[in-house]
Chains A and B, each alone.
Chain A
Amino acid sequence: MQTSMEKAVKEDKKAGSKSNSQSLAQMFKGNMRQYSMIIALVAIAILFQILTDGILLRPLNITNLILQNSYILVLAIGMMLVIITGHIDLSVGSIAAFVGAISAILMVNYEMSTFLAIVISLLIGALIGAWQGFWVAYVKIPAFIVTLAGMLLFRGLTMVVLEGKSIAPYPEAFQKISSGFVPDWLGGTNMNILTLVVGIVLSAILIINEVKNRKTQLKYKFDVTPTGIFVAKIVGMVALVNLFAYVLAIYEGIPNILVILVVLIVAYRFVTTKMKAGRHIYAIGGNEKAAQLSGVKTKRMTFLVFVNMGVLSALSGLLFAARLNAATPRAGNLFELDAIAACFIGGASAYGGIGTVPGAIIGGLVMGVMNNGMSILGLGIDWQQGIKGLVLLAAVAFDIYNKNKAS
């Protein structure tokens, strides 16, 4: 036994003395899912770019893509958290419709100020989330059932408060949330200068951040990507950001909604990866029992995840209503399925514990680009549905195939 232990120690040393720079293959293998989804997104975009004779990536259409998919992406962020904890939420579309209806009643019928109406709407979303979270977290009714009930309940309530009719139009300030653009203070004439400046500033922040990270990693002798790949990665990212800014700039600039989206993505990415709450969410989804025995307040955390989902559903409902400039009884129909599909295409596990916020966004964009591309091609809604279904199945099958191969 003594010798076997010595041998183990030697092996340990060998492993430690290995160069602290990861090989490309290793890096790719570790993040297989993320990279493959980005590659798939790019491939799909190129495919439709060709099929649509270049319409897909025109500045106008790119802006449209963002506006069209914003409310699904907002839902997908919240849904990702729900799915990571091992639950599901089928009611988000109905909640979005209900909150949209309430906001219309407040703003159109009661002529309440836009700001106050938005705050009240978001609070109602939180309340609805708390209602569902209570049944899921504390009474332990499966989320599938609670939110199926919620889906029916809030769809019904939407029709009740709207009395089956649509309410329109919203005040202009509210409409601007979804249809407006950040004004160009820098006074560009045929090009939006502000957008270009924002692009450059973001690139600078990006570079500084990455370099700083790499420095600390090197200081502690952690594994880092090889210098060549690191530089290539930064150059690629900076090019992408500036290209995107340029495309937006030659149309109307930065849509207001994009600002909201970016803030949400960055904030939720930060919370899920860098804060205690995020760790606890992953722990609950990975092994609820182990999490509980490690001091995670599993019930309260699950409850809060549903409250959060309620707020984001409300926000999604507001964005949709503002874009449509009306609250309708059919608003948000099937949003829940798009949001759930976005999460699973983006790498979430149906068993919980796995998934990322950027993953949900990429998944949402895959769906969005396909929707948009197929619409431009004039493909009927029937075929669109069918193809999206197959893509969802293929993405998850690919995931499971990879996992089986790994183990």
Chain B
Amino acid sequence: MRNITKEFPGVKALQNVNLKVKEGEIHALCGENGAGKSTLMKVLSGVYPHGTYVGDILFNEKVCEFKDIKQSEELGIVIIHQELALIPYLSIAENIFLGNEQVKNGVINWNDTSVKTRELLQKVGLNESPNTLIANIGVGKQQLAEISKALSKEVKLLILDEPTAALNEDDSENLLNLLLEFKKQGMSAIIISHKLNEISKVADSITILRDGQTIETLDMKKDNITEDRIIKGMVGRDLTNRYPKREPNIGETMFEVKNWNVYHPSRTDQKVIDNVNFHIRKGEIVGIAGLMGAGRTEMAMSIFGKSYGKKIEGQIYKDGKKIQIKDVNQAIDQGIAYVSEDRKGNGLILEDDIKQNISLASLDKIIKNFVINEQKEIIEAEKFREKMKIKTPSVHQKTGNLSGGNQQKVVLSKWIFSEPDILILDEPTRGIDVGAKYEIYTIINQLAMEGKGVLVISSELPEILGICDRIYVMNEGRITGQVSREDANQETLMKYMTKMKV
């Protein structure tokens, strides 16, 4: 892939990216969340068709212009996405040949399908009947079924996006060995992974992306690459001027969570949050770092009125007093606010206008004698429009028409209007441009100045390092480390983030 550039409205996701995969090698693609790995792979596999990006894709020295996935698959480029694309209530065989049915005279030949499926399952070492429903096998086996599906298409280049993210140790091991096996048979592969130990194990070379740009390509054999070397490539960047200055004025502990345990809502024997303890002081900005799936959002939502999980155990103290929070209303009453990471899905009502979104969590503030005072609602919304610099002609604008940064400001306004003492901000700057990020950091600093406690969950390490006074690191539902601002750097955080349970 040569000089690939891909832009989304307002964001340059990829900028002159180069990636070269040799025949018969396993090539790892590394980078932080949002560095552009998945976008690059979607360009390569035709999810983003030719014409929506700039640059060339060369496959076996021929320029390719894929219009859709079908065309890239014909050449043998197959992608397995992070979220598996299997249909739960169809059988393994039906899933493998979905869209590629073994048809004879317009009728599906089930015998043929079964025989071929069995061959494929044998290749990947999946010991299940072709007629088993996908819903009835575990995630590890589903991943193998997904790979069988790729193999059924005579794959030459297999792309795996975080293939082991949902797998346990054994299944991961199994999958990686399988990849090495395929390599021997001459297949090439690109693997995206956060797990550096896995990459060291299987990859022949590594390309590192950062902020949508190629940083370097490393040869595993030649350069004697260590995990630390990879981390350095992933995170090394200039931090100046991206974060507003602040003189922290930190008071006493105002919010504390002790022995917090949360179980999965449907698989009730699985602990999602495992004995978490943390505290926030007045005027302090506390960060929670971690990789995707570390349990940060789950923890925040379980604290915010038990919005996630079952069998929630543990104690919450506010200003030294133990408090009970049974639902979201009580959380709001206790002065807690949670700004969701998914502002479109969980934060905003896109059909409604700005003022209605801002007032939704605190309607009582604009109600007198059971009647909503619409004048007051507009006035309050106008105040936030000015204070937060929401760029919109009026507060009557539908929030669905705003840009990401402005939508985030509306969500923040909503929660600041509820006058909380503790704000939990989950990925507050995800998907918004640099300018708006700066403004949001300024708002966060302002909140801390006012003596509120702010908990920032972020997957962007520079952001955490840039704005937080103290940082907790989570992995696999546990807090694996606590670092103060002075001692924190990206390497230490990354180490805690990948620290496995022993």
| Interface positions of A (Cβ within 8 A of B) | 1, 4-5, 8-9, 11-12, 15, 18, 216-217, 220, 222-223, 274-276, 279, 282-283, 286-287, 289-297, 349, 353-354
Contact = CB atoms under 8 A, between A and B. Distances in A.
Given A274-B372, A276-B367, A293 B389 contact: no
A222 B360 contact: no
B246 interface: no
Contact of B435 (A4, A287, A354): A4
A4 B439 CA distance: 12
B148 to A, nearest CB: 35
10 contacts: A1-B434, A5-B435, A12-B389, A15-B393, A282-B356, A290-B347, A291-B360, A293-B304, A295-B331, A295-B332
A1 B363 CA distance: 36
Contacts of A276: 363-364, 367, 370, 372
B328 interface: yes
B127 interface: no
Interface in B370-410: 370-372, 374-375, 378-379, 389, 391-394, 396
A12 B351 CA distance: 23
Q: Categorize the interface residue count of chain B.
A: 35 or more
Interface in B288-341: 304-305, 307, 327-329, 331-332, 338, 340
Given A1-B434, A5-B435, A295-B332, A283 B360 contact: yes
B438 A353 contact: no
Contacts of A8: 389, 391
B370 A275 contact: yes
A222 B435 CA distance: 30
A275 B371 contact: yes
Contacts of B338: 293
- Looking at A9, A15, A295, the one whose CB has the most chain B CB atoms below 10 A away is A295
B435 A353 contact: no
A11 B394 CA distance: 13
A9 B389 contact: yes
Nearest to B332: A295
A293 B307 contact: yes
A211 to B, nearest CB: 16
A295 B391 contact: no
B328 A294 contact: yes
Interface string B262-305: 00000000000000000000000000000000000000000011
Given A9-B389, A353-B351, A297 B329 contact: yes
Nearest to A12: B391
B372 A290 contact: no
- Looking at A18, A222, A349, the one whose CB has the most chain B CB atoms below 10 A away is A222
Nearest to A406: B401
B346 A220 contact: no
Nearest to A18: B393
B414 to A, nearest CB: 7
A349 B394 CA distance: 24
Contact of A279 (B329, B345, B372, B438): B372
Contact of B352 (A4, A9, A11, A286): A286
B230 to A, nearest CB: 31
A198 to B, nearest CB: 25
Given A15-B394, A297-B329, 18 more contacts: A5-B435, A5-B439, A9-B389, A12-B391, A15-B392, A220-B378, A274-B374, A275-B372, A276-B364, A279-B359, A286-B349, A290-B346, A290-B347, A290-B348, A291-B360, A293-B347, A295-B328, A295-B361
B250 interface: no
Top-6 shortest CB links A-B: A286-B349, A294-B361, A287-B349, A294-B360, A295-B328, A295-B329
B488 interface: no
A144 to B, nearest CB: 20
Nearest to A9: B389
A389 B374 CA distance: 39
A223 B396 CA distance: 10
Contacts of A297: 327, 329
B345 A289 contact: yes
B459 to A, nearest CB: 20
Contacts of A9: 389
Contacts of A353: 349, 351-352
A34 to B, nearest CB: 15
B435 A1 contact: yes
B350 interface: yes
A220 B363 contact: no
Given A8-B391, A216-B375, A220-B375, A293 B434 contact: no
A145 B81 CA distance: 35
Nearest to B391: A8
B349 A290 contact: yes
Contacts of A289: 345-346
Contacts of B349: 282-283, 286-287, 290-291, 353
Contacts of A287: 345-346, 348-351
A11 B370 contact: no
Contacts of B356: 279, 282
Contacts of B360: 279, 283, 291, 294, 296
A282 B307 CA distance: 21
Contacts of A294: 328, 360-361, 414
B15 to A, nearest CB: 18
A364 B331 CA distance: 43
A129 B351 CA distance: 28
B304 to A, nearest CB: 7
Contacts of A216: 375
Contacts of A1: 434-435, 438
A290 B351 CA distance: 12
Interface string B419-461: 0000000000000001100110000000000000000000000
Contacts of A283: 349, 352, 360
Contacts of B392: 15
Contacts of B434: 1
Given A4-B435, A279-B363, A289-B346, A274 B351 contact: no
A275 B304 CA distance: 26
Interface string B39-81: 0000000000000000000000000000000000000000000
